[in-house]
Chains A and B, each alone.
Chain A
Amino acid sequence: MSELHFMQSPSVYLEIGQSSLKALDGEAGLELALERLPNGRLTDACKETVTLSLQSFLKKDVWRPRARALCAIGARGVSLRRLMLPSSTKDNLRRLLLLQIETEFPLPPDALAWGYRRLGNADLPAGQPLHQSANSAANNGFLVAAVKREVVEEYSEILSNCGVIPVFTLAGLARASLWPQPPRACAILDIGRNYSELMTFDNGVPTAVRILPWGGESITRAIEKGLSIARDEAEQLKIGLARGPASDAGRDQKSQAAVEAALNSLAGAIKGQWTGQRIFLSGKSTRLKDMSVLLARCLGNGVQCESIEPAAGEGRSAAILGLKTAAQSGRECPPLVLELKPADGAASMARQAPWKWAGVAVLLTAGLLALPYAEALLLKSRLSRKLAAIQVDKARLSTIDRELDFLRHLKQSQPPYLDALFLLAKAAPQGSRFDSLSMNRRGDLSLRGSMRDSQQVAGFRSKLIESGFFSNVAVEEQTPTPDRQKVVVRISAQWKPFSARESLAIGPTAEEIAKAKIRPKDTPAGPFPGMSPGFPGAAAMPGGPSPAGPGRRIASPAASKMPLPPGT
């Protein structure tokens, strides 16, 4: 469980005494004076002051669970009994306890805040008289503590208003938690302002709790009388004794004598209640110099006295330290919890936080498991609608396919007339003349014209072939003119299919375009104007060569070998 400490409610520790309230939250401490009515109840003004002070002291983070306030209450009005009950189930045990409380205690159980603690066999002191028969081996021992219900209710109301969950126990039992293994027989004396609380233990089990009419004020009064000084001066002197010897040795001696006299009266009161060998002292008055020694001397019979008062500090006391020790040792609740509700309050208190977290865990797990199903239930209709809409839109995809097919066909079916014209113009030798040129989209090209001689014809044909554009070039007819000055030629060619032409670089380079732009426009006229000398396709085409070979100028060996047409 230690790994789950962060899940447990944080704890604050309180000790509610007759005249003061001490609180410890972490390292922060608080000490408040309490004002009581003659019947022992707190005054209204005191309640209000305490509530406000505690509220500001116990400010908590919003995200954290409510803190538990482990409260140790004083022994005034507390009755302690040991009961022997036969073995029974848990429900029957409660019923039996109620019956016993009704018999043993002066008030009915409904008017009491009570709690019990089961005693082990080792806890049962030998020869100790019990309120029930101890003969039966099947009997179980129980320690029952009870106090007037309204006393605890008053405290509970104040603490609940401060946003904490109060858990009440006896201060004497809390002090006993300071020892992991308590001595076999001992007593704890907590010295208060006006009263002292004596709780006796046998085998670690409380046997009795008594209120002694002796407190720190008794010492002050003794000094006041012994030295015949004012009360305030006596109080200062007492505080001075706690610090160490004063410069006035005579006065110190008188004070010590007065203290001893006061302690003698305390020892007398203790002897009337207890006859053990070891007594532990707590309370601010135990800080008086040699208090333990003096009291031991007054008690006599080799009784040992030992102070268990923690170092001075606000909100620190032996009871609070005991509560803290018990909580840190892994106990969720003090060993004896005074319950206000008739139900098993301690158990429910202890189990509240884990059950809450378990519930949250179960809810989260259920949510996790249900999420896929909830998703299916919630999102299915939406997804169906979306899918139906997309399915309707899907019909458009086939339209896109058809459009793409159509446009691709159109693109691939565009014959490269301008490319062919550009190549012809580029390959044509100077002085050539074309009389007719026809081309069709199947790639057939035929031209009729005249050139200077057969070498020019051969060169022209070679250039056309080297361009890589034509798959075949045939000089169908080559006839010299009657004057032998020219050769009339008829050439047919076939350009390559689209896929083979794709990688060709056709069209004028940027330099050729620039040159064509600055060339004088008065090109010599001829029978096929503009085609001789050199077909000025690129220069003449509006918009440049874009239709012929836009963006397809890829270097190819054939193109690089092609000489520029004369005159360009």
Chain B
Amino acid sequence: MRTLTHREKRTLRFGAVAVGIYLLSFGGLQVWKFFGQRRSDYRQLVRQAEDLKREVRLYEDRILLVKKLMEGFHMDPARLSRVSVVADASAAIQKAAMGGGVQLGPVRESPGRPSSKELASMQLEGTGPVPAVMGLLSRLESVGFPLIIDSVQLTPDPRPGQLKINLTILILDFEQWKKEEPPHA
């Protein structure tokens, strides 16, 4: 093979350097783009995380309020079973009445109005001393079920010191709240 002249060697050297520079810059650009893309993705994720953080922070007050209300009502709505809630609520009401000294008469149950998100309504009749009747009215709120006293009728009982009470109680259906679109407040 012929020995290359100095001029040829120099030309080859320049060519190699030029090709090297081209490859280096091209490859460098690709690497730069790759890392730039990764960084931009990461920054987007960081922004998402910050948004999420802000969103979750708003819920801190709501959680406290929910906790307070749940403690007031002695109830966790998420744990209520639609199948057994009416039976359990009826039992709890009767237990509260008996425990407070109110003698219950007939108890009638009827299905609630789905439009009002009610599961059932109950009609109770009972007799007892004034304190017991008042105590029952106060305790019904915290028996651990979503109850609303629809109406109250108080009449005197022939026995002295006794009061007759007629109650209509509504049992709410939490399942129907679940199906609803959550409020955007």
Contacts and interface: CB of A to CB of B under 8 A. Distances in A.
A458 interface: no
A248 interface: no
Given A384-B45, A541-B134, A542-B131, A438 B161 contact: no
B165 to A, nearest CB: 10
A372 interface: yes
B183 A407 contact: no
A413 B70 contact: no
A540 B130 contact: yes
Contacts, number: 164
A536 B146 contact: no
B134 A540 contact: yes
A209 to B, nearest CB: 47
B41 A376 contact: yes
A127 to B, nearest CB: 46
B130 A406 contact: no
A410 B139 CA distance: 15
A124 to B, nearest CB: 39
Given A376-B39, A418-B134, A441 B151 contact: yes
A547 B141 contact: yes
A417 B152 contact: yes
Contacts of B155: 435-437
A400 B154 contact: no
Interface stretch (A63-71, A250-258, A475-483, A522-530): A522-530
A404 B59 CA distance: 11
Contact of A529 (B41, B77, B163, B168): B163
Nearest to B159: A529
Nearest to B185: A401
Contact of A376 (B38, B77, B100, B150): B38
B149 A417 contact: yes
Interface residues of B, number: 57
Interface string B46-61: 1011001001100100
Contact of A372 (B39, B70, B161, B174): B39
B122 to A, nearest CB: 14
Contacts of B73: 407, 410-411
Nearest to A440: B151
Contact of A543 (B70, B138, B148, B154): B138
B77 to A, nearest CB: 5
A546 interface: yes
Contact of A440 (B131, B150, B161): B150
Interface in A261-293: none
Interface class of chain B by DSSP: helix
Contact of A441 (B39, B137, B148, B160): B148
Contact of B38 (A380, A401, A407): A380
A438 B154 contact: yes
Given A380-B42, A528-B156, A400 B130 contact: no
A532 B151 CA distance: 23
B65 interface: yes
A418 B138 contact: yes
A536 B163 CA distance: 13
Contact of B152 (A375, A438, A540): A438
Interface in A209-241: none
B182 A398 contact: yes
A383 B160 contact: no
Interface stretch (A162-170, A319-327, A386-394): A386-394
B1 interface: no
Contacts of A525: 160-161
B180 interface: yes
B174 A383 contact: no
Q: Identify the 7 closest CB pairs spanning chains A and B, nearest first.
A: A547-B138, A376-B42, A530-B130, A540-B131, A440-B151, A407-B69, A401-B182
16 contacts: A375-B42, A379-B42, A390-B52, A401-B182, A402-B180, A404-B62, A404-B65, A405-B183, A406-B146, A406-B174, A411-B69, A414-B148, A436-B155, A528-B154, A528-B156, A547-B141
Given A407-B69, A543-B135, 11 more contacts: A376-B38, A386-B49, A399-B78, A401-B182, A402-B178, A407-B70, A411-B69, A414-B149, A436-B156, A525-B161, A547-B139
Interface of A: 372-373, 375-377, 379-380, 383-384, 386-387, 390-391, 394, 397-411, 413-415, 417-418, 421, 434-441, 525, 527-531, 536-537, 540-543, 546-548
